[in-house]
């Protein structure tokens, strides 16, 4: 029987052959728990969690060869700029990305539109502003979006997000949305079937608009 799922949190194993793995977890490492060149050997890897790791640009250069990767978590990673996310465009099988608790620029978020099969995106507590929402709106392939705890998005951010006409699920707690935001979302997100919008100052008018969602 062959090992397919491995948790190496707080462990560093340079030079170890991990090529058979399909799932790998490395949480909170001060450096990547696997030697950078090892990523290029993980051809069968489908699920990778590097949350809270200090991952640098060279690591992502090697990671871009994991073309069978479908789920990737980079939550709370210290380095997350355009150079890093640009490498992810090579991951054509990628469907789920978790970028929660990271500091992102609008420019870096625009690069996500190049990932053709991306359908689930987590951007909770990323200090998002309307300019970030405009960048996100270009990833029209996304159907499941989580943006909890981004209070600076506000109504202008909602106006941009309403362009995601294929969106089916939206988690938007504490995003500074008022009744105007509710109007934008109700008019634009016609495919939406799941909405979490609590802890926003919607008032009665906003709640009434949400209740009339298609």
Tell me whether residue 37 is in a domain.
no
Name the helix (H) or strand (E) containing 195: strand 194-196
* pLDDT greater than 60 at residue 1: no
154: containing domain: 42-211
The strand pair at 169-171 and 144-146 is best described as parallel
Report how far residue 104's alpha carbon sits from residue 122's, in angstroms, rounded to the nearest whole number.
Answer: 12
In a domain, 49, yes or no: yes
- pLDDT for position 118: 95
Does residue 186 lie in a domain region?
yes
Question: Could you give the CA distance from residue 70 to residue 97 in angstroms, rounded to a whole number?
Answer: 9
Identify which has the larger pLDDT, 205 or 169: 169
The CATH number given to whatever domain includes residue 153 is 3.80.10.10
Residues 131, 107: contact at Cβ < 8 Å?
no
Q: With contact defined as beta carbons under 8 Å apart, do 56 and 33 qualify?
A: no
The pLDDT of 68-93, averaged and rounded, is: 81
Reported as a single tens digit per residue, the pLDDT across 168-195 is: 999 999 999 999 999 999 999 999 999 9
Crossing angle (nearest 10°) for helices 203-211 and 179-188: 20
- Check pLDDT > 90 for residue 41: no
Classify residue 129: in a domain, yes or no. Answer: yes
Q: How many structural domains are present in the chain? A: 1
């Amino acid at each position: 029987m062959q090992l397919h799922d491995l948790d190496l949190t707080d462990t560093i194993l340079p030079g170890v052959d991990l090529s058979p793995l399909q799932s790998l977890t490395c949480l909170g490492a001060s450096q990547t728990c696997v030697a950078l060149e090892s990523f290029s050997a993980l051809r069968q890897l489908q699920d990778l969690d590097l949350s809270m790791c200090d991952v640098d640009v060279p690591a992502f250069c090697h990671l871009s060869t994991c073309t069978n990767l479908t789920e990737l978590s980079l939550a709370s990673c210290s380095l997350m700029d355009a150079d890093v996310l640009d490498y992810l465009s090579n991951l054509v099988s990628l469907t789920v990305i978790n970028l929660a608790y990271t500091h992102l620029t609008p420019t870096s978020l625009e690069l996500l539109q190049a990932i053709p099969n991306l359908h689930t995106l987590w951007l909770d507590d990323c200090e998002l502003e309307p300019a970030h929402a405009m960048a996100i709106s270009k990833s029209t392939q996304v159907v499941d979006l989580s943006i909890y705890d981004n209070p600076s998005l506000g109504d202008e951010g909602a106006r941009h997000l309403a362009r995601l006409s294929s969106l089916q699920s939206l988690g938007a707690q504490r995003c500074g949305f008022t009744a105007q935001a509710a109007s934008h979302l109700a008019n634009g997100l016609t495919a939406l079937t799941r909405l979490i919008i609590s802890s926003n100052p919607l008032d009665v008018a906003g709640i009434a608009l949400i209740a009339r969602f298609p």
